[in-house]
Amino acid sequence: MITRRSFAATGLAALALPALPRPVRAADWQAVLDAAKGQTVWWHAWGGDPKINDFIAWVGAEAQVRHGVTLEHVKLASTADAVARVLAERDAGQTTGGAVDLIWINGENFAAMKEKGLLFGPFAERLPNWPLVDVAGKPAVVTDFTLPTGGFESPWAMARLVFEYDSARLPAPPATIAALADWARANPGRFTYPQPPDYLGLTFLKQVLYAVMADPAVMQAPAGDDYAAQVAPLWDYLDALHPVLWREGRAFPQNEPALGQLLADAEVDIAFAFNPGRASAEIAAGNLADSVRSFVPEGGTIGNASFLAIPFNAAHQAGAQVIANLILDPAVQARAQDPAILGFQTVLDLAALAPEDRARFDTLELGVATLSPEALGPALLEPHASWVTRIGEDWQARYGVAP
């Protein structure tokens, strides 16, 4: 569940960077480190993937050794649980000593917390490792859900939508979104997508929009009066696709892991994920056939970033900042990018790294099913949030009640 959304408007992103990040003063950061020493940081993060859980445990061990900070992973079934917790605390008048110190957060949750003033900060751009972050090359690290992060969350991983297929059953995957529909008609029951409002399902709809809209660029502005006419091709596409989907579109997988399980069980031939390294990592873990490969349709796929945020009332804000900084450390980022560990792409600018740090990335294997950066093609910008909201609602109205 790498976060959703948002390469958003690059122009907006640039606007969101008014003054260049003020380098943190060594004395300020030393004060944070001193305050953090001995703290226990409660990191609320989705706990559904053992690979990620192991990585977080490893980060905790590093934090203990390097900074004397203890990291406790609160394994969530849904990030919204943590958001609801902070909201409940605020409503109960608890403005300090909150239970949540750090949240692995994504678009809608971030937008909700920022809007309600539930976040601590801005802190991200004052972290000592911030200058290493590739703001120019990966604008999504400062724009989430088309919303400028404003330093209220710190990025830690990049994600891209990639399609996965089993080359043993499907030698040549379709090259475009239109060809995907043709292939599905020729092979009924062998393709599906997670049921919106699941973020990966909505991402698939956005990917289709990019392929079928007359002018996808209009999605960078809020949806307007022409919305219905503009998205009509999406509904035409889905109306034709649903009867040939898995279970004839009468049931859908609920999320990315469920879709991945269908691929592993040979129930579908094509799946997709928001992590280019997922297929390789799952093959390495023995969960997927080693004939699985990944591909992207022509024209590129949607991409975004994952973040860490600190609630306004977190009990251990110093310790939380130390973790957010530690996770931007080149050694930690390289470990996350290792397909045998996580396969998450780094947020750092490799050109800005010291040679020995860059070498950590250069020596990484891509993984048997992972596309090279060139093969991944361009990253498509996330549409303005209003499009996603309306498409999600319309999907519910059109397909949410089985015929």
Partner 1 sequence: MKGAGAALILPRLTLALLVLPVAAGLAGTLLPAVSGFQALIGWPGLPRAAALSVISGAASTLIALGLTGLIVAMLHDRPGFALLRRLLSPLLAVPHAAAALGLAFLIAPSGWIVRALSPWATGWQVPPDLLLINDPGGIALTLGLVAKEVPFLLLMALAALPACDAPRRLAVTAALGYGRLAGFALAVWPALYARLRLPVMAVLAYGMTTVEMAAILGPTLPPTLSVQVAEWMMAPTLDRMETGAAGAALQLALVLAVMGLWHLAGRLGAVALRRGAEAGRRVRMADGPARALAALAGYGLPAVLGLALAGLALWSVAGRWDYPAALPEALTLKHWARAAPALGSTLATTLAIAATATATALVLVIGCLEAERRAGLAPGRAAEAALYLPLMVPQIAFLPGLQMAALALGLDGHWPAVAAAHLIFVLPYAFLSLAPAFRGWDARHGLAAATLGAGPARIFWRIRLPMLLAPVATAAALGLAVSVGQYLPTLLIGAGRVGTLTTEAVALASGGNRRLIGAWGLAQLVVPAAGFALALALPRLVFRHRRAMLAGGAA
- Residues found near partner 1 in the complex (CB under 8 A): 42, 44, 46-50, 54, 72, 74-85, 87-89, 91-94, 99-100, 108-109, 111-112, 116, 169, 188-190, 195, 246-248, 250-252, 254-255, 257-258, 260-261, 264-267, 286-287, 289, 396-397, 399-402
DSSP, collapsed to helix, strand or coil, labels residue 383 as coil
Q: Write down the least CB distance from residue 47 to partner 1, Å.
A: 4
43-to-101, 111, 337 alpha-carbon distances in Å: 6, 19, 21
**What angle do the packed helices 227-241 and 385-399 form, to 10 degrees?**
50
How far, in Å, CA of 58 to CA of 51, rounded?
11
Smaller CB separation from partner 1, 134 or 394:
394
Q: Write down the least CB distance from residue 279 to partner 1, Å.
A: 15
Smaller CB separation from partner 1, 28 or 248:
248
Q: Write down the least CB distance from residue 164 to partner 1, Å.
A: 15
Smaller CB separation from partner 1, 65 or 397:
397
Q: Report the Cα–Cα distance between both ends of the chain, in Å, rounded.
A: 30
Smaller CB separation from partner 1, 174 or 253:
253
Task: Pick the closest to residue 348 from 148, 135, 52 (CA basis).
Answer: 135
Query: Cβ–Cβ contacts within 10 Å for residue 370, how many?
Result: 24
Q: Write down the least CB distance from residue 355 to partner 1, Å.
A: 35
Which tokens sit at 55?
């990585």
Which tokens sit at 379?
């990253």
Bridge partners (DSSP) of residue 272 are: 163
Smaller CB separation from partner 1, 30 or 254:
254
Phi first, then psi, for residue 126 (nearest 5°) are -105, 5
Alpha-carbon dihedral 61, 62, 68, 70, rounded to 10 degrees:
-40
What are the DSSP calls for 344-358, one per residue? Answer: PBP-B-GGGS-HHHH
How far, in Å, CA of 272 to CA of 302, rounded?
12
**Three-state secondary structure of 88-140:** HHHHCCCCCCECCCEEEECHHHHHHHHHCCCECCCCHHHCCCHHHECCCCCHH
How far, in Å, CA of 136 to CA of 104, rounded?
23
Phi first, then psi, for residue 224 (nearest 5°) are -120, -155
Q: Write down the least CB distance from residue 215 to partner 1, Å.
A: 28
**Which DSSP letter does residue 314 get?**
B
The sign of the dihedral angle between the CA atoms of 166, 170, 172, 174 is negative
Smaller CB separation from partner 1, 66 or 250:
250
Q: Write down the least CB distance from residue 326 to partner 1, Å.
A: 21
Residues in the chain: 403
Q: Write down the least CB distance from residue 336 to partner 1, Å.
A: 18
Q: Write down the least CB distance from residue 72 to partner 1, Å.
A: 8
Smaller CB separation from partner 1, 89 or 134:
89
Task: Pick the closest to residue 157 from 262, 59, 260 (CA basis).
Answer: 59
Smaller CB separation from partner 1, 228 or 359:
228
How far, in Å, CA of 135 to CA of 142, rounded?
7
Q: Write down the least CB distance from residue 335 to partner 1, Å.
A: 17
Smaller CB separation from partner 1, 46 or 152:
46
Which tokens sit at 201?
């399902």
Q: Write down the least CB distance from residue 20 to partner 1, Å.
A: 32
Smaller CB separation from partner 1, 91 or 226:
91
**Residue 294: alpha-carbon gap to chain centroid:** 18
Q: Write down the least CB distance from residue 362 to partner 1, Å.
A: 30
Smaller CB separation from partner 1, 28 or 72:
72
